[in-house]
Amino acid sequence: MTNIENPKVKIKARNMTVHYGDAQALHGIDLDLNANEVTALIGPSGCGKSTFLRCINRMNDVIDGCRVGGSLSIDEQDVYDAAVDVVELRARVGMVFQKPNPFPKSIYDNVAYGPRIHGMAQDRASLDALVERSLKRAGLWQEVKDRLSASGTSLSGGQQQRLCIARAIAVNPDIVLMDEPCSALDPIATAVIEELMEELRRDYTIVIVTHSMQQAARISQRTAYFHLGDLVEHGQTETIFTTPQHQQTEAYISGKIG
C-alpha cells in the first residue's frame, strides 16, 4: 500500500495553458498528481478537465489550432520537450475514452495492436502471453478466453470498455488516463470497472475525468475541481466531498446554483 501522506509526485503541471484558436481553455494550471493514486478531475462541462487530461499524453496535438503553454512533466521529464517522441509518450501514458471504442477487429488483435506497432513481442508465443496477461489484468480473460477471434465490437458495453483498458495496459504504460470511462455503461458494468481501477492503481497512476460525483468520491484518493479553465480546488477526496474549502466546489458537488 502506498503511503498516502508521502506519495511520490508522478505528473507535475506548472502554469499549463491551452488555447483552442482564440478561446482559452486552461488558465495556468498548477497541479501535482501522485503515483499509484487515482486522481479524479471533476467540474462542469467545458471546465477544462478533459483538456487537462489530454495534455498529459498530448492528445491535444492532433487538434487543429490548439496551443499548449506552460510545462507538464512526468517523472521530472518535460512532456512538451522537443526531444520527446509523442508516440513513445502515448505508449507510456495509456488512454481510455468515454465511449468504448474497440477497433473493428478481433479481441486478440485489439489487445495485440499496441504491442505489435511498438515491437514489444518477438514471437507469437510472447505476444499470446502478453495478450493473456493484459486481458487478465483488465478482468476480461475469463469472459473472452474461448472467443479471442470474435470481433471486439461483439462484446457488451462494459466488456468493450474493459477490452479498451486491456488494450491500453498491453503496451505497459505508467499512467492510465480515463476520460469518463463509465458514462456509457450501466451501474453493474460501472462497478466492475471501478473495482478494476482500485486494483490497477497498485501498478499505474490513474487520472480519471468523471461527471459522477459519487464515482469520484468512491474511487479516487485525490480530487481536483476545475471551473471555467481554472483549477479551483485540489485535495484529498474525503475533504473535497465533505468540507470543500471553496464555495464554487461546494456548490458544484452539492448541485447548487453556483
Partner 1 sequence: MTDKIDIRSANPLAAQAYQARLKKRYRAERRFRAYGLAAIMTAGMILLFLLNAIIFASLPAFSHHYMRLDVEISTDYVSAQTPQEGNYLGLVRAALREQFPDVTARRDKRALYKILSLGAADGLQKRVMAAPDLVGTRVSLDVPLSDDIDLMLKGLIDRSLPQSDRIVSDRDLVWVDKLLAEDRITRKFAFALFTNGDSREPEMAGIRGALVGSLWTLLVTLIVSFPLGVLAAIYLEEVAPKNRATALIEVNINNLAAVPSIVYGLLGLAVFINFFHLPRSAPLVGGLVLALMTLPRIIIPTRAAFAAIPPSIREAALGVGASRTQVIMHHVLPLAMPGILTGTIIGLAQAAGETAPLLMIGMMAFIVDVPGDVTAKATVLPAQIYMWANNPERAFVARTSAGIVVLLTLLLVVNAAAIYFRRRFEKRW
Partner 2 sequence: MTDSHIVSSFDRDLADLNRLVARLGGLAEQQFAAAIDALENRDVSSIDDIIAGDSALDRLEQELNDRAIEVIATRAPMARDLRSILSAVKIASVLERVGDYAKNIAKRSRVIIQEETNRSDTISLARIADIVQGMLRQVLDAYATGNAEQAMDVWARDQEVDALYSSLHGDVLAVIAKGAEQASVSSHFLFIAKNIERIGDHTTAVAEQVYFQVHGSMPTDERPKADLASGPSVTT
* Residues binding partner 1 (CB under 8 A): 57, 59, 62, 64, 87-91, 94-97, 99, 101-104, 113-114, 117-118, 151, 153, 164, 167-168, 170-171
* Cα separation of the two ends of the chain: 38
CA dist., res. 193 & res. 191, Å (int) = 5
- Contact between 243 and partner 2 by CB under 8 A: the answer reads yes
Out of partner 1, partner 2, none, which partner does residue 241 contact, by CB within 5 to 8 A per kind? Answer: partner 2
The dihedrals phi and psi of 161, each to the nearest 5 degrees, come to: -70, -40
Site string for partner 2, 211-230 (x = CB under 8 A): --xx--x-------------
Using the rule CB under 8 A, give the single segment among 48-56, 152-160, 182-190, 235-243 that binds partner 2. 235-243
The H-or-E segment that residue 195 falls in is helix 187-200
Q: Of the ranges 23-31, 113-121, 141-149, 244-252, which one interacts with partner 2 (CB under 8 A)? A: 244-252
The candidate with the shortest Cα–Cα distance to 28, out of 20, 17, 18, 19, is: 17
To the nearest whole angstrom, how small is the minimum distance from the Cβ of residue 44 to partner 2?
Answer: 11
Whole-number Å distance between alpha carbons of 31 and 43: 15
The three-state secondary structure class of 183 is: coil
Residue 71 partner contact from partner 1, partner 2, none using kind-dependent CB cut-offs of 5 to 8 Å = none
Contacts of 6 (CB under 8 A, 6+ apart): none
The residue ranges that bind partner 2 (CB under 8 A) are: 213-214, 217, 241-244, 247-248, 250-251, 253-258
